[in-house]
Amino acid sequence: MMPLAANNPRGQMTKSLPWGVFSCLFAVLLATSVQAEKPDDCGNNNQAQQLAYLIKHHQNQQRTQLDCHAKLTDIGHYKAKLLSGHEVIMHNIGHLTPNQLLRKKGYKLSDGYPHLGNQVEAIAAGNKTASETFNQLLNSARHRNLILGSSDFYREQNQIGVAYLQQKVSPYEHYWVIYLADTKHREKPKTEFTVSYDYTLHHEKSAEQQQKLSIRKRHEQSRHKHLMPDNQ
């Protein structure tokens, strides 16, 4: 059936058809845009998405492009689960450096990143809100440089994924993981920037707990030093 052209000898469309076509095209374009970067690509939940927004839109953010990447978010969620099972919050939990972890989990990290090292991950624990965690990370110079892209190497990173995990039966309850990375083929930097920040929250422990934690922390630090000999 072609009712629109019945009284139109030249086969011209009536005025209602272009608007219908326009509406359909707009809907397709909108769906394509939403599909290209969905909110859950930025973070695994609302809290993580809020932190991703703070990072992307900070006034001192040096990157001109920063797209959300679902794979990075998924790996961040995996890392948050690992962190929730340890007293010490450190980048090499699970016997892998962050660079190694991204590659092992299927993210095609640029060849410009060293095999052993961390130029991609920021971690935090203990704070409940995205804004508190963001300020916590900015107070760490190496995390701040990574998050805001303060060096030429970090500035080339154009993909982000953020994860937040609340685990009530755990040492810190709130865990945050941020990945900033890229898949470009670029040369390794002349100076290796390394993000390294291990810490524990300060809360009351018995003398026996403190002794066990001290031994465990020394062990973790020794292993961390072995894995990252060039850490500055």
Distance (Å, rounded) from C-alpha 134 to C-alpha 224? 25
Q: What is the pLDDT of residue 213?
A: 52
Of 202, 227, 229, 205, the residue nearest 90 (C-alpha) = 227
**Structural domains of the chain sorted by starting position, each given as residue range(s) with its CATH number in brackets:** 39-217 (3.40.33.10)
Q: Are 87 and 172 in contact (CB under 8 A)?
A: no
Which tokens sit at 143?
Answer: 């995390």
Residues in the chain, overall count: 232
Residue 82 has a pLDDT of 96
Q: What is the DSSP letter of 3?
A: G
pLDDT of residue 23: 46
Concatenated DSSP letters for 38-54? Answer: -HHHHBSSHHHHHHHHH
Contact present, 176 and 80 (Cβ < 8 Å): yes
**For 74-96, b where at least 16 C-beta lie within 10 A, e where not — what string?**
bbbbebbbebbebbbbbbbbbeb
Within 10 A of 188 (CB to CB), how many other CB atoms are there?
13
pLDDT at 232: 40
What is the residue-level pLDDT of the chain in tens, covering all 232 positions? Answer: 333 333 444 444 444 445 454 445 444 443 444 445 566 889 999 999 999 999 999 999 999 999 999 999 999 999 999 999 998 899 999 899 999 999 999 999 999 998 888 999 999 999 999 999 999 999 989 899 999 999 999 999 999 999 999 999 999 999 999 999 999 877 776 555 667 655 555 444 445 545 545 555 554 555 445 444 444 4
**Cα 54 to Cα 222: distance, rounded to the nearest angstrom:** 34
